[in-house]
Amino acid sequence: MNLLVWDYYKNVLNDSVKASKFLSKMLPPGVTLDMTSKKAKTKIQIVKTLINSYALVDFDYFNFHWYEPVQALFWTDSSRPTTIDTNHISPDVLAEVGRYLRVNSPIAGRTIITNEAGQVTNSPYIPQEITCALQNFPIVSWYSGDGNFGDADRLYKSKALHNAQHVSPFYTLRSSGLAFKTNIAGIISDPYVYCVPLSR
């Protein structure tokens, strides 16, 4: 999704400044991604082919997966960064991806959902921020398994709202899970005012 938005800004709108700003929001500070490399061009071509093909299919929902903070997903060093805010979602990235899918993509006008949303840190702030950022999605499911599989060299992997590792105490809510539970209760109690402005 991030590559599609970058490509839209750069090659459809021909707005290099907007494309560069979006790249800086999704990447950790100081990290660069060579968008002219064969690897990047191949990935972009694959996702463009897929989304153009989806536009030809009569479907009810378009589903994508989303994890926050986005910048942490691009962190490949094994040591913890000091330049990434790991307590909050990466500002504006999800909003721009959602806007692209709804308004500017080949599938614009279709219903967008995510049956796998989650976080890659245990921050108690991220559940509310993602919930609020996804509030105009008709279906959102939170990923509940801990990311203790694949990508062994990656520092940031999916984190469940509960202790999903095989250690005691089993399946107890983490601080992020308690925050999620509180936020859902707030949504049920007053669905029109539950998203408070972020203080950053």
Report the predicted TM-score, pTM, of the whole model to 2 decimal places: 0.86
Calculate what percentage of the chain has a pLDDT beyond 90. 56
Burial class (CB in 10 A: 0-12, 13-18, 19+), 42: exposed
**Torsion, Cα of 85, 88, 92, 96 (10° steps):** 110
pLDDT score of 193: 66
Q: Which pLDDT value is given to residue 158?
A: 87
Is residue 26 within 8 Å of 93, Cβ to Cβ?
yes
> What does the pLDDT read at residue 155?
77
Does residue 41 carry a pLDDT above 80? yes
At 199, is the pLDDT very low, low, confident or very high (cuts 50, 70, 90)?
Answer: very low
Lowest mean pLDDT among 3-17, 47-61, 122-136, 154-168: 154-168
Q: Would you say residue 192 has pLDDT above 80? A: no
Segment among 6-20, 43-57, 66-80, 141-155 with least mean pLDDT: 141-155
Q: Phi/psi class of residue 147: alpha, beta or left (left: φ > 0; alpha: ψ in -120 to 50)?
A: beta
